[in-house]
Structure 1
Amino acid sequence: MPARLSVVMIAKNAEDILPECLASVAFADEIILLDSGSTDNTLDIAREAGATVVTSTDWPGYGIQRQRAQALATGDYVLMIDTDERVTPELKQAILAILENPQPDAVYSIARRNYFLGRFMRHSGWYPDRVTRLYPRERYRYNDNLVHESLDAPGARVIALKGDLLHLTCRDFASFQQKQLNYATAWAQERHQKGKRCSIAGIMGHTLGAFIKTLIIRGGVLDGKQGWLLAVVNAQYTFNKYTELWALNHGYTQKTAI
């Protein structure tokens, strides 16, 4: 008998992108959606698709919110996805094959195809952009990071799955920029709380390094005009992270928690 699969996601105000996401994982034994206070039709859309919906409006950060969502699941395996991601048919078949022959000591990485301003990127560090998202529910969980959370699976074998996870990273540039700014702020606050410091020289060095890494080292120039734009965006994001950390270090920013 195949292992049972729980698709787990966290969401807020995702009515425009949620239907396609849910349709792509309809093969799962259950879908768990933990909502953090949507004011649109996200909850109704999820329920109509047969998902189990729970609301939790106090925001503890991405890592703990994913832990909360996973705690609601009952399947043998968890597939953790976001509302702006879609499972491709090839990836679906790869997941079903794993469920037929589960390996409890293994976790599974998935290549993401990231969408940026009209193009699924093939370079720039945005592909294959492997993320570990399929794993045995009772053995592993996400870490506590406020942002850039990841699966905590020390000692596990990591097996690469065939097929891609489509990620609609940047469909609307203004919204994408706001999200990047929120991530940068949370990143800086987390590092500040851990006693990390940054100098002006460090800000400039990290910013320039991000631009060169994206455009040259990671082949962004091969992604055409989007590659150049992404190199600037990554540099801007890096500048925001380290400048916010510098401001917190010197007491120029009052926010110390999300």
Structure 2
Amino acid sequence: MTARLSVVMIAKNAADVLPDCLASVSWADEIVLLDSGSDDNTVALAEAAGVRVFTSADWQGYGIQRQRAQQYATGDYVLMIDTDERVTPELAHAIRQALANPQPDTVYSIARRNLFLGRFMRHSGWYPDRVTRLYARERYRYNDNRVHESLEASGARVVALQGDLEHLTCRDFAGFQRKQLAYAAAWAQERHEKGKKVSAAAIFGHTLGAFCKTLLLRGGVLDGKQGWLLAVVNAQYTFNKYTELWALNHGYTEKRPL
């Protein structure tokens, strides 16, 4: 018997990208959206599309918020996506095939096609950028990480699905930079609270390593101008997160609630 699917997402001020996202998964048995306190019309758009909408403005990080959102799902399987992602027709077909023959001890990875400054990257570590997003609801959940959260699926068989998940990662550079800076601060604070240290010399080593890894080891040079720019952006992000950790280690910046 075909398993029921719940598409689950978390959102905040996503009115500009939500309609296309919802349209790409309109075939699911249900769509659940947990709003984090939007002040645009995200909630109204979702409700008008028949989405089951809930609210939790007590932000404790991405991992916890995904766990909360999953609690509202009723399907046998969860497809966890973001509001700036779109399920392609080929991926939708692959998901329906997997649901027709459910294997609860199996989780499914999906290739993300990431947009950066007008180009869907094919290299640079941004493709296929596989993420595990389809899984049995009662068996698996996300970890508690504030950023870079992932599915806890130790021991599960991982099957790669055909088709891509289009991710509008950087459609607005200033907004992308603000998000990257917030991720860096959250990453640094999480590690500082765990007692992690970093030296000034290590900051520069990590930064240079991130640039070379993106451009050379991950083939960013094959992505043209965007590949070079992304190498710089990745180096910048690495510099920001390790410098923030160094500043926290030395009491040069304030710890803040996340």
**TM-score, length-normalised on structure 1?**
0.99
Amino acid at match of 1:252: Y
What pairs with 1:1-258 in structure 2 (closer than 5 Å)?
1-258=1-258
- Is contact 1:189–1:257 with CA below 8 Å preserved after alignment? no
Q: Distance in 1 between matches of 2:185 and 2:110?
A: 28
Q: Distance in 2 between matches of 1:125 and 1:168?
A: 16
Q: Distance in 2 between matches of 1:132 and 1:143?
A: 13
Matched position secondary structure for 2:50: coil
Give the superposition deviation at 1:72: 0.4
Unmatched tracts of structure 2, length 5 or more: none
Q: Distance in 1 between matches of 2:6 and 2:78?
A: 5
Matched position secondary structure for 2:164: strand
Q: Distance in 2 between matches of 1:56 and 1:127?
A: 32
Deviations 1:205-224 (A, max 9, x none): 00000000000000000000
Unmatched tracts of structure 1, length 5 or more: none
Matched position secondary structure for 1:50: coil
Q: Distance in 2 between matches of 1:3 and 1:19?
A: 25
Give the superposition deviation at 1:256: 4.2
Q: Distance in 2 between matches of 1:48 and 1:120?
A: 31
Amino acid at match of 2:22: L
Q: Distance in 2 between matches of 1:257 and 1:187?
A: 13
Q: Distance in 2 between matches of 1:64 and 1:53?
A: 17
Matched position secondary structure for 2:169: strand
Matched position secondary structure for 2:146: coil
Q: Distance in 2 between matches of 1:5 and 1:166?
A: 20
Aligned length: 258
Amino acid at match of 1:133: R
Amino acid at match of 1:42: T
Runs of 4+ in 1 over 3 A off after TM superposition: none
Q: Distance in 1 between matches of 2:173 and 2:250?
A: 31
Give the superposition deviation at 1:257: 3.1
**TM-score, length-normalised on structure 2?**
0.99
Matched position secondary structure for 2:222: helix
Q: Distance in 2 between matches of 1:16 and 1:168?
A: 12
What RMSD, in angstroms, separates the aligned Cα atoms of the two structures?
0.5
Give the superposition deviation at 1:255: 1.8
